C-alpha cells in the first residue's frame, strides 16, 4: 500500500530525479528500485535527507552500499536522534573489542530505545562508564581518544 502511495505521489521527473540522487552515490537503478520495494518511503525522502544519510553511512561510517540496499529503512531514521547516538555507542564497543562487527545495523537501529540501551549500554557500563554519555551526545568519540579516521577505516557493520 505504501509503495502505491509513494509511486503515485511522485511525477515522472521527480521519480527520475530521485533515481539520479541515489545514482550519484553509486546505486544502480535496479538497486534503488529494490530498496524502494523494501522501504517505499525512501523515494519520498527529500534530496537533502537522502544526501545527508548517504554521506553519513558511506563516508563517515564506511559502509558498503549493499548495507543500505538490504536495509533501506535506515534512511528514514533521524541522524541526530537515533543513528549517530547508536552508531557511536556501537563503535566505542567495537573499538574496545567488547562487541563483534557482525551486528546487523538494521537490527541495531530498529530496536526500541529500551532494548538498545539494555543490550548495548547498561550491559557494558562497568567496562565503559561513559557509554551513556556517548549515547546522549555529551561525549563524542574524539573525547574518548577515537578519531573519525579510525572509525571510517573499519569495515562495515
Identify whether residues 43 and 13 lie together within a single domain: yes
Query: Is 157 among the domain residues?
Result: no
Instruction: Kindly state the cell numbers that stand for 136.
Output: 546522549
| 89-101: average pLDDT | 86
Q: What is the pLDDT of residue 47?
A: 95
Tell me the C-alpha to C-alpha distance, in Å, between residue 130 and each of 17, 53, 65, 68.
Answer: 43, 26, 31, 29
Domain range holding 49? 2-76
- Indicate the average pLDDT of the chain: 85
Q: Name the domain boundary from 58, 76, 94.
A: 76
Question: Residue 7: is its pLDDT beyond 70?
Answer: no
10 contacts 44 by C-beta, under 8 angstroms: yes
Q: What is the pLDDT of residue 107?
A: 82
**Using CA atoms, how far apart are residues 130 and 115, in angstroms rounded to an integer?**
19
Q: Name the domain boundary from 76, 109, 135.
A: 76
Identify whether residues 65 and 40 lie together within a single domain: yes
| Number of folded domains that form the chain | 2
Query: Is 132 among the domain residues?
Result: yes
Identify whether residues 85 and 24 lie together within a single domain: no
Identify whether residues 114 and 133 lie together within a single domain: yes
Identify whether residues 55 and 97 lie together within a single domain: no
Tell me the C-alpha to C-alpha distance, in Å, between residue 19 and each of 3, 12, 30, 122.
Answer: 15, 11, 10, 41
Q: Name the domain boundary from 76, 95, 116.
A: 76
Q: What is the pLDDT of residues 29-75, one digit of tens each?
A: 999 999 998 998 899 999 999 999 999 999 988 888 998 999 999 99
Amino acid at each position: 500500500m505504501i509503495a502505491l502511495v509513494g509511486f503515485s505521489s511522485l511525477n515522472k521527473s521527480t521519480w527520475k530525479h530521485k533515481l539520479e540522487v541515489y545514482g550519484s552515490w553509486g546505486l544502480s537503478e535496479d538497486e534503488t528500485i529494490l530498496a524502494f520495494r523494501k522501504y517505499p518511503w525512501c523515494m519520498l525522502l527529500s534530496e537533502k535527507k537522502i544526501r545527508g544519510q548517504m554521506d553519513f553511512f558511506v563516508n563517515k561510517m564506511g559502509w558498503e552500499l549493499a548495507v543500505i540496499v538490504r536495509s533501506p529503512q535506515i534512511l528514514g531514521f533521524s541522524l541526530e536522534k537515533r543513528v549517530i547516538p547508536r552508531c557511536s555507542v556501537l563503535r566505542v564497543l567495537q573499538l574496545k573489542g567488547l562487541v563483534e562487527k557482525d551486528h546487523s545495523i538494521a537490527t541495531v537501529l530498529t530496536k526500541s530505545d529500551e532494548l538498545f540501551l539494555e543490550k548495548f549500554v547498561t550491559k557494558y557500563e562497568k567496562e565503559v562508564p561513559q557509554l551513556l554519555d556517548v549515547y546522549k551526545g555529551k561525549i563524542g568519540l574524539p573525547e574518548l581518544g577515537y578519531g573519525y579516521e579510525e572509525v571510517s577505516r573499519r569495515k562495515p557493520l
